[in-house]
Amino acid sequence: MMIKIENLYRTFHHDDNEVPVLKNINLNIKEGECIVLKGVSGSGKTTLLSLIAGLDKPSSGKVLIDGEPISKLPDLFASELRAKKIGMIFQHFNLFEHLTVHENVTIPLIPSGLKMKEIQKKVDRALSLAHISHKKEIQAGRLSGGEQQRTAIARALVADPDIILCDEPTANLDRDNSLLFIESIKELNRLGKTIVIATHDPLFEHLDFKSTIIPMADGKIVSSYDDE
C-alpha cells in the first residue's frame, strides 16, 4: 500500500472555538492509482492533501507513506521523504517568480546531495516531460498560467517521486490548458505514478483513464457523490 490513512482528524482552533475540518478519514491508495478528491470549497480536500504531503500535522490519526508515518517523523526524515517520494503541484503554482523556469525546477534537488551535473540531467528530463523545455530560460513571473502550471509539474517531477499531489491544479487555468494538464496527468499515471488530485473542477469527473473519484463533504469522505 502506497498511502494509508487511518482515523485521521484535523481540527483548527479559532479563538475559543474548535473547527473540525477533517473527521475520521480512512483511505487506502495503491501504487499507480489516480485518486480525485472531489468536493466543494471547505470540504477538507486541500487539508487532506496537505496532511498526506506532511505540510500539516493531524490532530489525531496518521498518514503512512510506504509504511512510514510522515507526520510523526523527525523533520530531517520527513523532509527527505517529502523530497524523494512526493511531488506537489499547488493551486497558485507557488513558483519563485524572480527565477527562471530551469532554476525553479532545480530547487527541490539542492539539498539532495547530488552533483550539479546530475541535477542538470534530472532538470532537463523533468522539463522535457512537462513540455516546458523551450521556456527554460524565461523568468517564471513572465509565463502564462498554463506555462507556470507546466513549470510546477516539472518541479514536482524533478526528483522522480512516486507520488504526485495536486491541489486544485486547474483552478487558475482556462479550459484548453486544463485539458492539457489532464493529458499530462494521464501520461504520469501511465508512467506508474500514484496521483492524488484535490479539485472541484467537473473536467475530472470523466477522465479517459482509470481513476477513482472520492467525494468529500463537510470533512468526511461521503459514500454518495453529489455534483455541486
Partner 1 sequence: MNANAFWHFLTLQLVKERSKHLSVILISMMIVFLLSSVLFISSSIRYSLEETLKVQPDFVVSRTLGGTAIPTPMAWGDELLEIYGVSQVTPRVYGRYFFEPKGKSFLLVGVDFMEEQSHKNLQALIETTDIKAFFEGKQMFVGQGVKEYLNAHFYKGSYNFLTPKGQFENVKFFKTLPSQTNLISNDMIILPLDLARKILGYDEEEVTDILFNVPNTDEWDMMTDKLSALHYDLHVVNKKEVQRSYANLYNYKGGVFLILFLILLATFSLILYQRYSMVYSSERRHIGLLRALGWSINAVLRYKFTETIVVVSVSYILGVLLAYFYVFVLGAPILREIFLGGKNLHNIVGFLPVLDFSVLSSIFLIYALPFIASVLIPVWKVSVTDPKEAML
Give the residues lining the site for partner 1 (CB under 8 A): 50, 53, 55-57, 75-76, 79-80, 82-84, 86, 88, 90, 94, 96, 98-99, 103, 106-116, 119, 155, 159
Pick 165 or 182: Cβ nearer partner 1: 165
Closer residue to partner 1 in complex, CB, 96/225: 96
Cβ partners under 8 Å of residue 131, min gap 6: 150, 184
Nearer to partner 1, 47 or 178 (CB): 47
Strand pairing category for 194-199 and 34-38: parallel
> Beta-carbon neighbour count of residue 94 at 10 Å?
14
Our CB check for partner 1 shows the closer of 159 and 217 to be 159
Q: Which amino acid is at 65?
A: I
Give the Cα separation of 94 and 53 in Å (integer). 15
Shortest distance (Å) from residue 106 CB to partner 1: 7
For the CB of residue 225, give the shortest distance to partner 1 in the complex, in Å: 27
User: What is the rounded distance in angstroms from the CA atom of residue 97 to the CA atom of residue 90?
Assistant: 14
The least distance separating partner 1 from the CB of residue 68, rounded to whole angstroms, comes to: 14
